[in-house]
Amino acid sequence: MSGLPQDKQDALLSRRQFLKKAAAAGLSVVPLALGGHSLWAELIQTASAEAVDRKDTWKPAKSSEHANPESPSPDWLNVKTFGARGDGSTDDFKAIAKALEKAGQDPDAVVYFPPGEYVVSGTLMVTRPMKITGAGKYATVIRLTRESVDAVKVQGTKDVTISHLQIRDIVNRGKGENTGIHFYASHNCVVEHVKVYNSDDSGIRVGFGKYEVSRNCRILNCEIEKTNGGSGIEVIRAADALVHGCTVWDSLQHGIRLCGSSGSIVTANRISGSGSSDISIQGFGSKGVILHPVEDFLVEDNTCEGTGTNDGVSMFNYALTGLLQHNSFSGHRNGMRLYDPDGYGSQDVRITGNTWRGQERGIFIKGKHNRLTFRYNRYASFVRPANGDPAYAFDIQGTGSETDITIEENWVTDKVESPAELVAVRLRKCGSGTRIQFRRNHLEYWPAGATGTYWMNDNTGLLIRDHGGRDTNVIGS
């Protein structure tokens, strides 16, 4: 590479680092080019070299990678051998606890649940390496009857796999939080082909350990339905988690939530029916103080279907150095909402190659955010708000004096009823130092030369549209 300019050498090295990280997570990455522009420039910003090197030192989590459960082996620890009935009425808690205790003596042990409904009256604790598997997520059901406890808690261990079963009815009528499966201060763990139904705070949670960070855990091809008090899948103060191929619907708050995590990867999931947002990317803190930002994240190839009143993505309280790309969002009030309720805005986040359809506002930005980039996205089929306001592709409000946002080479299309009812970009109540680069976008349904129609600015903040005195945006019906 010695014959290349230094910036090209840096780009190639960064691309390899990105591929290295993706391969370590078991992902295949294909470069996407739109309008003659390669997205590798965005991909290489997803994580620092330090994060890549750290991840490569860990042992990859084991996964069966099979949609169908394995045939039981005579060497497996069958919970019925320990007295479990699986008849839907007998309390099998003590029998299953005995099987788990026995499995803890052998790191290669497999605890097997034959088809049946297993009633349990307490938390199933896993504190040693083992594999727990059922006969399928509709054949093997674990039903929790005691309130205000987790169903399964994996604590202070590593190399635990839970697969091919269903967990249901995690109830807390008070102010506490309880989950279906919780990986707490544990590493290199996997949950795959599991269904969690009717859970209190979250169906599956990784992290939230007080003294130790959970690392390198994977949630693969799971189903989360009806989360009554929180989010479907949560990654909280954890490192290098992977959430892939899951279906999440009917969550009270968020479908998938990244909170104060680092190096998280969220790919190829399908989310719908979330009360607040389908994907939440947020820092962790309390009483207005953010203790842990969410950083070095990759959110890619997810499909999110809105309720008409929720957000596709919410990003707030210190999101740093992340990439949101190739996702599809439809039917949300806000396709993406960025805000800073405690004064912690987002920084160095790139949003590329996504599609937003059927929103009142494609992107709603409020507060102080720095070095955000929106490129190669499509915003289409807007819905006019019931209050009669126009629809907006970009609605930017109240940004601080240091805000710097780049919006380039996007496609805004599909009128609502008339061009006056859709505004491509609006600035309002922005600080005097706000700087918005809005260039080289393709804007349909506005007549040529419609200055002031596709954009609105209340004379706060700098909206840069031109180069050499000419508007760089392509405008036409």
Query: Which class for 396: exposed (0-12), middle (13-18), buried (19 or more C-beta within 10 A)?
Result: buried
**pLDDT at residue 370, as a whole number:** 93
Residue 271 reports pLDDT greater than 80: yes
DSSP 277-306: EEEEEE-EEETTEEEE-EES-EEES-EEE-
Residue 334 reports pLDDT greater than 50: yes
**Cα(213)–Cα(204) distance, integer angstroms:** 16
Residue 470 reports pLDDT greater than 80: yes
- The CATH homologous superfamily to which domain 138-473 belongs is Single-stranded right-handed beta-helix, Pectin lyase-like (2.160.20.10)
Instruction: Find residue 160's DSSP bridge partners.
Output: 130
**pLDDT at residue 477, as a whole number:** 66
How do beta strands 289-292 and 284-286 pair?
Answer: antiparallel
HEC assignment per residue over 162-224: EEEEEEECCCCCCCCCCEEEEEECCECCEEEEEEEEEECCEEEEEECCCCCCEECCEEECCEE
Residue 23 reports pLDDT greater than 90: no
Q: Phi and psi dihedrals of 354, rounded to 5?
A: -95, 165
- Candidate from 39-48, 101-110, 118-127, 355-364 with smallest mean pLDDT: 39-48
Q: Phi and psi dihedrals of 13, rounded to 5?
A: -60, -45
**Cα(382)–Cα(270) distance, integer angstroms:** 22
**Cα(247)–Cα(249) distance, integer angstroms:** 7
> Mean pLDDT, to the nearest integer, of 185-192?
98
| Confidence category of residue 116, pLDDT binned at 50, 70, 90 | very high
**pLDDT at residue 1, as a whole number:** 40
- Candidate from 18-22, 111-115, 127-131, 301-305 with smallest mean pLDDT: 18-22
167 within 8 A of 196, measured Cβ to Cβ: yes
Top pLDDT among 11 and 253 is at 253
**pLDDT at residue 235, as a whole number:** 98
Q: Which of 6-20, 88-102, 380-394, 448-462 has the highest mean pLDDT?
A: 88-102
> Mean pLDDT, to the nearest integer, of 276-281?
98
**Cα(362)–Cα(55) distance, integer angstroms:** 34
| Confidence category of residue 449, pLDDT binned at 50, 70, 90 | low
**Cα(170)–Cα(146) distance, integer angstroms:** 8
**pLDDT at residue 306, as a whole number:** 98
Residue 63 reports pLDDT greater than 70: no
| Confidence category of residue 420, pLDDT binned at 50, 70, 90 | low
Radius of gyration of the chain (CA): 24
pLDDT digits (tens, 9 = 90+) for 197-242: 999 999 999 998 777 899 999 999 999 999 999 999 999 999 999 9
What residue ranges do the domains of the chain occupy?
138-473
Amino acid, single-letter form, for residue 172:
N
> In the structure encoding, which two tokens stand for residue 449, read together?
């030369």
- Which residue has 């209190």 as its token pair? 200
**pLDDT at residue 337, as a whole number:** 98
